[in-house]
Amino acid sequence: MKIAVSAKEVGLNGKIDDRFGRAEYYVIFDTETKEVKTVENSAKNESAGAGGKAVKVLGDENVNIILAPEVGPKAITALKAFEIEAYLYAGMGLNTVEDAINAFNEGKLIKANNATVEEHSGLRKA
Amino acid sequence: MKIAVLSGKGGTGKTTVSNNLAINIKNTILIDTDVEEPNSHIFLKPDIEKIDSVFIGYPEVDMNKCNLCGKCGEFCRFNAIIPAKNSVVVFNESCHDCGGCAMVCPTNAITYKQREIGKIYSGKTKYDIDMKYGEINIGEMSGVRIIEEVKEKIKNEEIVIIDSPPGTACSTVAAVEGVDYAILVSEPTPFGVSDMKMVVEMLREMNIPFGLVINKAKLGDDEIYEYANNENIEILAEIPFNKEIAKLYANGELFSIHLKEYKEIFENIYSQILSKL
Ligand code: SF4
Ligand code: SF4
């Protein structure tokens, strides 16, 4: 099983990101091989629809689960289509990618069934 | 002839200027292209004779034909179509109806459906001029298509006053595209001036001649006059801040009808524009 974490920095010790669609990186942890891989989020600078495109980045990496702060409505739709589950860590005071994975393993993260943020909330104000 | 009326932000008196101008020029038609918040009809009070829906297309994928090759998703720069595991996700509201995804699809799996994104209202105002205004449906992201369709309904021989969306968004560009002249309405406050600079840049970029109308003149400081002077922008008129004007506005009335001395301001603006074209 592959778990991806929305991250600001590379690797397991990297800081988690407080955005999903516009996160810098996704750190992907393979629970079987214990391999860690960091992919850059090529969707982060999209002018529109970053959330959906980011999900595609994860889908292409065959990710099964994403740990993210919050997710928007488009991302939820896309996650379902890619058969990826999302678990949320917003407001939990977590710091690194490893923290997030541990919290997930301990069953502390809540599964996202619906959008937890409004559309466009990840956009920087011009 | 087409004259656009613009402002750096909302609430500077753009509608006041466009409406008062329209009713003081013979044979004009006013179109309100501020589709997010049209309000010219509040003042012009038209009898609506016709309502047209504005439609936009969005792709529908026939999964019996689709082989999930991914080409449509790579093409779409709005990320409105995303091929996934066993299906293709389409975000209708993000689609700009460019037709590209169907063109690149190797299996002809994509067809387009139509949905309504807004309406165009047409009617005669009580001031003996015609008006049209567009209104975008709640939740829709882009009114550009509605603005383009309002403009398409205009005949060539008409004198058209275009009440434009504020700022410099895509919708403003769509409203101003192809006009002969633009009137920039601003208030003499520091915020008014900084918002207005962006519009000046846009108009210069688009090569559209323009002039300035200062609303609520004398209420603020001199920055706007210095700016206009330095940038060589002509001041077409100044509308003073005046309690009577404010009261008429609050009652949804056009002040140049009631205060005859202001009628001249608008007739003057028009003749100045004519002398330049
Ligand atoms: S029509 Fe254009 S904008 Fe709409 S989904 Fe297809 S490629 Fe994207
Ligand atoms: S381009 Fe056509 S065949 Fe390829 S994924 Fe899109 S809809 Fe399917």
Please say if the pLDDT value at position A120 is more than 60: yes
Atom 5 of ligand 2: nearest residue by CA position: B68
Asked if B174 and B147 touch (Cβ cutoff 8 Å), the reply is yes
Mean predicted confidence (pLDDT) in B60-69: 97
Q: How far apart are CA B18 and CA B164, in angstroms?
A: 9
Record the pTM: 0.79
* The predicted structure's pLDDT at residue B190: 74
Q: At B243, is the pLDDT very low, low, confident or very high (cuts 50, 70, 90)?
A: confident
What lies within 8 Å, CB to CB, of B257 at 6+ separation is: B23, B127
Mean predicted confidence (pLDDT) in B254-272: 87
Q: What percent of chain B clears pLDDT 90, i.e. is strictly above it?
A: 70
Mean predicted confidence (pLDDT) in B33-47: 93
Mean predicted confidence (pLDDT) in B66-85: 95
Q: How far apart are CA A41 and CA B150, in angstroms?
A: 40
Please say if the pLDDT value at position B263 is more than 90: no
Q: How far apart are CA B40 and CA B132, in angstroms?
A: 9
Q: What is the pLDDT of residues B116-154, one digit of tens each?
A: 999 999 999 988 899 999 999 998 888 999 999 999 999
- The sign of the dihedral angle between the CA atoms of A16, A19, A20, A25 is negative
| Å between A77 CA and nearest CA of chain B | 8
Q: At B203, is the pLDDT very low, low, confident or very high (cuts 50, 70, 90)?
A: very high
User: CB of B91 within 8 Å of any CB in chain A?
Assistant: yes
Ligand 1 center–CA A112 separation, angstroms: 28
CA-nearest of B1, B8, B30, B4 to B183 is B4
Please say if the pLDDT value at position B202 is more than 90: yes
Please say if the pLDDT value at position A126 is more than 50: no
* The predicted structure's pLDDT at residue B206: 96
B98 lines ligand 1 (CB under 6 A): yes
* The predicted structure's pLDDT at residue A125: 41
Output the average pLDDT for chain A.
90
B88 lines ligand 1 (CB under 6 A): no
- Predicted ipTM? 0.82
Q: What is the pLDDT of residues A10-62, one digit of tens each?
A: 999 999 999 999 999 999 999 999 999 999 999 998 888 899 999 999 999 99
Which ligand has its closest atom nearest to the C-alpha of B59?
Answer: 1
| Å between A95 CA and nearest CA of chain B | 31
